[in-house]
Each structure stands twice: as structure tokens, then as C-alpha cells.
């Protein structure tokens, strides 16, 4: 036992020295510093009603106060496969981060083996066959003197956060698509109701004109015009019904169903357009998950430079092995059969054929790429917000103007019908006035849908109810 003490003491001193070096050293490569990006002092297209700080929760669609929409959004969260795939990617990234962080700990393995061998007797010796039994416990630990493992862990942790932010982007996109398709479906219900009502009126008029033609009171052209209006309106109604079915199919897939499994009863679009404050431009970058993901990719790329630089330096690894080895099966765990070894190993990258320089240059260029992507994400965030604020502002005016158009067209149609019944106006004028009224009503329904779509777009543009500190969640099926 006395012969073992100096070796053990020397190994302990070496280990202590290496640990001290590791703790006192800092990771090579640049530490991440958020780059300067352009930030608007104010939104140029912001108008009065949209000023203030947004107060949106994770269930932001509740601002529309529609029970059917609430149910569809809940189903999408539970069963949408795009969302579930994105959530699985978060789990994959976490697992890869755990793999990277395992480098902070020693690797310990038990490697028992049994080997039977025979020595040759061709040189005049005596051949011998024997069995070796070995039960070694091996340990290996890289001392992270230059921060290679730390930079690897930093990059992996940033990648995990990227996947979480990307999950939020996917979730918001799916939730937004549910709302957009739902409002489109209800707008089509409104149009179908208008067309059905007008079609009934046109059919009754066509019957009346047909009787008048037979009585010789009006010319045949009036009947042809009346029939044409019936057929045109029938075609419009069929097209609206086709679009409505497609919107229903889209909602089915978004909520994890077969298209044949979802059927929504018709209901005209009566949803009021809520006002969503846009907040301050300086707050926008911290609320959008896509911008956060772009910056986190930049963090990972920055850590990659440190990894590449650490490869230029020596890599110090402590290795050790202890266990039992014998040719006698009955003495496999006998104290006299014990064996052990311990010591450091040093990897010196003397010549790599330009590999290290190329790796570092590649890491630097990945950082530059990520930096450009981050700046573009910031600019895109401001552009999308300005666009949707512009849409909302102008569509408010369009809705008010269209409401006046509908009122005027309705009154015109009423007066022309009275004149036609009195024989003062030809039939084509009555047909034109009714067609103008229907067109105006259909346009008003479309503008209402566009305003709701713009509100959904504003919610997404300002980040919805996303909070960076919240862990991604997925409802169980």
C-alpha cells in the first residue's frame, strides 16, 4: 500500500491544479452583446383609438366574444398537428441542450469483459489457453480550461430558447388562421343570407313579370332581364356556398379533424370589431417571438465563435480506471485482483491543415448571417405593425362610407320600385337599383370581415399574448 501513496498524492495535486486553472480561466471568444438596431420613436400610422399598452392574454381571441371561435381555438390547441410538431421540436432542443450540458460532468462507465485467448507454440514454446476476466470502472473528465464546453452549453441553451420562441410563432400562426377562417366563414354566411333573400325577391319579380308579359302589359325584354338577374344571383350564391365549404374544411384541419367531421351551423357575422392598443415601438421587440428567436440564433452563433477559438488551445482530460482483472473466475472480485490507473492526457492541435482557421471563419460568417437576419426581423416587425395600423385606420373610414352607400342604395331601390309599380320607370332601372343595393350590402359584409382580419393581424404583429418567461405548453388530447 505504501507504494500507492505517492502516485495517488501526485494525481490529487494534478487534479487540484487543473481545477484551479479551470475555475480561474474565462471562456475564450466574445461575450454576447445585443447589437444596436433601429427603433422608431413612434408608430407613424398610429391613430387615437389604438394608442396605449396592449393587455392581451394567451387566449387573445376572447376579445371577439364569440363562443364558437373560443371552442375552435381550444380544439386547435389540443389537436393541431403543426402545433404538436413544433412542441416536439422544443423537446428535441431541450434534449440536445442536456447532451451539451453533460460535458460539465465526468463520464463514468462500467465495462466488464471476458476474453479467452491462446498463445502460439510455433517458436518452440509451450502453447497456453486462458480466460481473462476484467471488471473495470472507467472515468473521463475534460477540464474546461478555455471554455469550450461552456460555449457549447451556451449555444445549446440559446437553441433551446429559439425552439420555444418558434413554437410561439407557430402557435400564433395557427391561432390566427383559425380566427381568419372563422370570420371568413361567418362573412360568407352573411353574404349567403343576403343573396338568398335577394334571390327570393328576384324570383317573385320574374314570376310577376312573366304574367305581365302574357297579359301584354310589358315587353318580353323585361322577362329576359328578370330571368338574367335570377340566374346571376343563383351563380353568386353557389360560389359563396363553395367558398364557405372550403373555409369549413380549413377549420376542420386546423382543429385536427377530417373535413367531413366538422359542420358549423350558418350564422351571420355580427362580431364587433374590438380596439387593440398597439403599444410603444420600444416595447415591440420584446413582445414578438419571431424577433426573440432571431436574436437567440445570434446568441448561439456568437457562442459558436468561442467554440471555434477554444479548438486552438490544448484540451486537458483526466482519465482513470479502477477495478479487477484476473484469469481465475473465482477471484474476479478478490482484493488481490484489483487494478487501477489514473493520469491526465493532453491534446495539442499542432497541425490541422487549415481546419481550425476555416472553422473559425465559418463561425464568424454564421454570426454575420444571424446578425443580418436579426436586423431584418426587427425591420419586418415594424413594417408589419405599421401596415396593419394603416389598414385598420383606412378600413374604419371605408366601413363608415360603405354604411352610407348601403343606406342610399336601399332608399334608391325603394323609390325606384314605387315608380316602377306606378308605371313611371322601366324595369331595367328597377333591376339596376336592386343590383346596386345587393352589391353595396355584400361589400359592407366584406369590409367588416377585412376589419376583423386586420385586428387579428394587429394582435399577431404586436406579439399576441406571448410572454418570454412562460414555458411552452400543450393541452392533452
Q: What is the pTM of this model?
A: 0.83
The pLDDT of residue 118 is 73
The pLDDT of residue 2 is 36
3-state SS, the chain, equals: CCCHHHHHHHHHHHHHHHHHHHHHCCCCCCCCCCCCCCCCCCCCCCCHHHCCCCCCCCCHHHHHCCHHHHHHHHHHHHHCHHHHHHHHHHHHHHHHHHHHHHHHCCEEEECCEEEEEEECCCCCCCCEEEEEEEEEEEEEEEECCCCHHHHHHHHHHHHHHHHHHHHHHHHHHHHHHHHHHHHHHHHHHHHHHHHHHHHHHHHHHHHHHHHHHHCCCCCHHHHHHHHHHHHHHHHHHHHHHHHHHHHHHHHHHHCCCCHHHCCCCCCCCCCCCCCCCCCCHHHHHHHCHHHHHHHHHHHHHHHHHHHHHHCCCCEEEEEEEEEEEECCHHHCCCHHHEEEEEEEEEECCCCCCCHHHHHHHHHHHHHHHHHHHHHHHHHHHHHHHHHHHHHHHHHHHHHHHHHHHHHHHHHHHHHHHHHHHCCCCCHHHHHHHHHHHHHHHHHHHHHHHHHHHHHHHHHHHCCCCCCCCCCCCCCCC
- For residue 97, the enclosing domain spans 29-105+146-314+369-461
Whether 81 maps to a domain, the answer reads yes
The pLDDT of residue 125 is 62
Whether 203 maps to a domain, the answer reads yes
Whether 454 maps to a domain, the answer reads yes
The pLDDT of residue 149 is 85
The pLDDT of residue 18 is 46
Whether 389 maps to a domain, the answer reads yes
Whether 353 maps to a domain, the answer reads no
The pLDDT of residue 246 is 96
The pLDDT of residue 475 is 65
Whether 175 maps to a domain, the answer reads yes
Task: Provide the domain count of the chain.
Answer: 1
Whether 425 maps to a domain, the answer reads yes
Mean pLDDT by 10 residues, the chain (477 residues): 39 47 65 89 79 80 94 94 90 84 79 76 67 76 83 89 92 95 96 93 88 87 90 94 96 94 94 87 88 94 91 83 71 72 78 87 94 95 93 91 94 91 85 90 93 94 85 68
**The domain spanning residue 300 has which CATH number?**
1.20.1600.10
Amino acid at each position: 500500500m505504501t507504494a500507492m501513496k505517492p502516485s495517488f498524492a501526485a494525481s490529487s495535486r494534478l487534479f487540484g491544479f487543473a481545477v484551479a486553472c479551470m475555475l480561474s480561466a474565462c471562456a475564450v471568444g466574445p461575450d454576447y452583446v445585443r447589437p444596436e438596431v433601429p427603433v422608431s420613436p413612434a408608430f407613424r400610422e398610429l391613430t387615437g383609438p389604438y394608442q396605449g399598452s396592449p393587455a392581451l392574454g394567451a387566449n387573445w381571441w376572447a376579445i371577439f366574444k364569440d363562443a364558437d371561435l373560443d371552442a375552435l381555438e381550444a380544439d386547435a390547441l389540443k389537436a393541431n398537428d403543426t402545433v404538436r410538431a413544433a412542441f416536439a421540436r422544443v423537446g428535441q432542443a431541450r434534449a440536445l441542450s442536456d447532451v451539451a450540458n453533460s460535458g460539465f460532468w465526468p463520464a463514468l462507465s462500467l465495462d466488464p469483459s471476458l476474453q479467452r485467448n491462446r498463445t502460439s507454440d510455433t517458436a518452440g514454446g509451450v502453447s497456453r489457453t486462458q480466460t481473462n476476466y476484467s471488471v473495470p470502472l472507467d472515468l473521463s473528465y475534460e477540464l474546461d480550461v478555455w471554455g469550450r464546453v461552456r460555449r457549447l452549453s451556451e449555444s445549446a441553451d440559446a437553441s433551446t430558447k429559439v425552439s420555444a420562441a418558434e413554437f410561439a410563432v407557430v402557435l400564433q400562426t395557427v391561432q390566427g388562421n383559425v380566427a381568419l377562417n372563422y370570420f371568413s366563414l361567418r362573412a360568407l354566411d352573411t353574404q349567403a343570407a343576403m343573396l338568398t333573400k335577394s334571390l327570393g325577391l328576384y324570383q317573385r319579380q320574374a314570376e310577376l313579370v312573366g304574367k305581365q308579359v302574357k297579359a301584354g302589359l310589358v315587353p318580353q325584354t323585361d322577362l329576359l332581364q328578370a330571368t338574367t338577374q335570377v340566374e346571376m344571383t343563383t351563380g353568386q350564391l353557389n360560389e359563396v356556398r363553395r367558398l364557405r365549404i372550403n373555409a369549413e374544411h380549413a377549420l376542420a384541419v386546423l382543429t385536427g379533424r377530417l373535413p367531413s367531421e366538422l359542420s358549423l351551423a350558418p350564422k351571420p357575422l355580427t362580431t364587433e370589431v374590438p380596439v387593440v392598443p398597439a403599444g410603444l415601438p420600444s416595447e415591440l421587440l420584446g413582445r414578438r417571438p419571431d424577433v426573440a428567436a432571431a436574436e437567440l440564433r445570434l446568441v448561439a452563433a456568437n457562442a459558436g465563435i468561442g467554440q471555434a477559438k477554444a479548438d486552438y488551445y490544448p484540451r486537458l482530460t483526466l482519465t482513470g480506471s479502477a477495478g479487477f482483472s484476473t484469469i481465475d473466475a473465482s477471484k474476479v472480485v478478490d482484493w488481490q485482483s484489483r487494478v487501477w490507473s489514473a493520469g491526465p492526457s493532453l491534446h495539442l492541435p499542432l497541425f490541422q491543415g487549415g481546419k481550425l482557421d476555416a472553422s473559425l471563419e465559418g463561425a464568424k460568417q454564421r454570426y454575420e448571417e444571424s446578425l443580418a437576419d436579426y436586423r431584418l426581423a426587427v425591420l419586418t416587425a415594424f413594417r408589419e405593425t405599421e401596415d396593419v395600423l394603416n389598414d385598420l385606420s383606412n378600413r374604419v373610414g371605408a366601413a363608415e362610407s360603405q354604411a352610407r352607400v348601403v343606406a342610399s342604395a336601399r332608399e334608391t331601390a325603394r323609390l325606384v320600385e314605387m315608380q316602377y309599380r306606378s308605371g313611371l320607370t322601366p324595369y331595367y332601372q328597377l333591376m339596376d337599383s336592386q343590383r346596386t343595393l345587393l352589391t353595396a350590402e355584400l361589400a359592407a359584409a366584406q369590409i367588416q370581415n377585412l376589419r376583423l382580419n386586420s385586428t387579428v393581424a394587429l394582435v399577431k404583429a404586436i406579439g399576441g399574448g406571448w410572454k418570454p418567461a412562460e414555458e411552452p405548453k400543450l393541452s392533452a388530447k
